[in-house]
């Protein structure tokens, strides 16, 4: 555990500690959630895969927007980061129509104020990626909001900047991933401000927990897409007749091994690196 660090927050699968006035330590566990429930069984190295991927993207998107990454620790799952003043906004970009975007579209024909063509199907590719902000819910689900509501939360000028930066990040990473056989259906960022009021990318970036990764060779609009990383877990859970309320089920060894292999495969395809090289020295992802 981190040396004399105070615990300042936790997500479903990550913990945040204070190192000093300016720095936090973000630690990614091997916990996995499905249908919004954290399961009792861990996926070995999942936290390292996500930390490595996030650092890989931070290193490659610094010209688009600076980020909070200061250092990767040797354990491969802990990141020292700059402490920011986080914006009260989830910055979501969608390139495909799925999840809550698909739900909102079916109900209203629009997503966060973006009116879309009338004949779109589940998982269709959008003509252009769209910025679809959401509020940060303390508990339960984030709520999608339109651009006027988002601009009220952060101010019009900051909203415009956040939208442009988010779209640019998504265009960069989705093009890169698509060349490697992975579709980034959508993604979520958390942005903050440094002491000078400059916009900085925080949290994690383009991980399977913050984005939907779809295998490109199985993409078929008109139906929900299999998840690159979690599909074994979801399929297994569906065989149990579990009602998707806590507690979640234990996972058998073959589901754990298959899921770990998919996370490692996503890491290796996207980074072009051997995962073993990352375990030997996490800094290889910084290129």
Q: Is there binding between residue 47 and ligand Q0N (CB under 6 A)? A: no
Q: Are 165 and 133 in contact (CB under 8 A)?
A: no
Instruction: Please state the closest distance from residue 87 (CB atom) to ligand Q0N, in A.
Output: 10
Q: Are 50 and 36 in contact (CB under 8 A)?
A: no
Stretch that binds ligand Q0N, among 57-65, 79-87, 115-123, 210-218 (CB under 6 A): 79-87
- For residues 141-150, b (16+ Cβ closer than 10 Å) or e, as one string? eeebbebebb
Q: Is there binding between residue 262 and ligand Q0N (CB under 6 A)? A: no
Beta-bridge partners for 113: none
Instruction: Please state the closest distance from residue 195 (CB atom) to ligand Q0N, in A.
Output: 12
Instruction: Please state the closest distance from residue 203 (CB atom) to ligand Q0N, in A.
Output: 4
Q: Is there binding between residue 205 and ligand Q0N (CB under 6 A)? A: no
Burial of 153 (0-12, 13-18, 19+ CB in 10 A): middle
Q: Tokens in use for 36? A: 């919004």
Q: Is there binding between residue 26 and ligand Q0N (CB under 6 A)? A: yes
- What is the C-alpha separation between 242 and 19, in angstroms, rounded? 40
Residue choice 9, 44, 224, 287 for contact with ligand Q0N (CB under 6 A): 9
Q: Is there binding between residue 81 and ligand Q0N (CB under 6 A)? A: yes
Beta-bridge partners for 200: 192
The CB-nearest residue to ligand Q0N is 11
- What is the C-alpha separation between 243 and 193, in angstroms, rounded? 41
Q: Is there binding between residue 25 and ligand Q0N (CB under 6 A)? A: no
Beta-bridge partners for 186: 94
CB nearer ligand Q0N, residue 163 or residue 203: 203
DSSP letter, residue 239: H
Which x/- pattern over 165-194 shows residues binding ligand Q0N (rule: CB under 6 A)? -------------------------x-x--
Residues forming the site for ligand Q0N (CB under 6 A):
9-11, 14-16, 24, 26, 68, 81-84, 86, 190, 192, 202-203
């Amino acid at each position: 555990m981190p040396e004399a660090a105070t615990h300042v927050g936790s997500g479903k699968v990550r913990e945040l500690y204070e190192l000093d006035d300016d720095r936090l330590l973000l630690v990614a566990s091997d916990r996995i959630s499905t249908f919004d429930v954290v399961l009792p069984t861990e996926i070995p190295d999942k936290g390292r895969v996500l930390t490595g991927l996030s650092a890989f993207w931070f290193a490659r998107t610094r010209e688009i927007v600076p980020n909070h990454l200061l250092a990767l620790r040797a354990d491969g799952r802990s990141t020292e980061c700059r402490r920011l003043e986080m914006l009260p906004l989830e910055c979501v970009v969608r390139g495909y129509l799925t999840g809550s975007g698909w739900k909102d579209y079916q109900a209203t024909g629009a997503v966060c104020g973006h009116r879309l063509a009338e004949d779109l199907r589940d998982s269709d590719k959008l003509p252009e990626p769209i910025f679809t902000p959401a509020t940060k819910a303390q508990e339960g689900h984030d709520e999608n909001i339109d651009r006027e509501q988002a601009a009220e939360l952060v101010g019009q000028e900051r909203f415009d900047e956040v939208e442009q930066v988010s779209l640019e990040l998504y265009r960069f990473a989705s093009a890169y991933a698509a060349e490697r056989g992975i579709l980034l259906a959508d993604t979520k960022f958390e942005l903050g401000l440094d002491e000078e009021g400059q916009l900085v990318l925080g949290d994690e970036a383009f991980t399977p927990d913050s984005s939907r990764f779809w295998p490109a060779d199985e993409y078929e609009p008109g139906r929900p897409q299999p998840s690159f990383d979690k599909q074994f877990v979801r399929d297994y859970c569906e065989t149990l007749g579990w009602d998707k309320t806590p507690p979640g089920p234990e996972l058998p060894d073959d589901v754990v091994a298959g899921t770990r292999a998919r996370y490692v495969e996503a890491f290796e395809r996207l980074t072009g690196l051997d995962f073993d090289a990352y375990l030997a020295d996490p800094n290889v992802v910084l290129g």
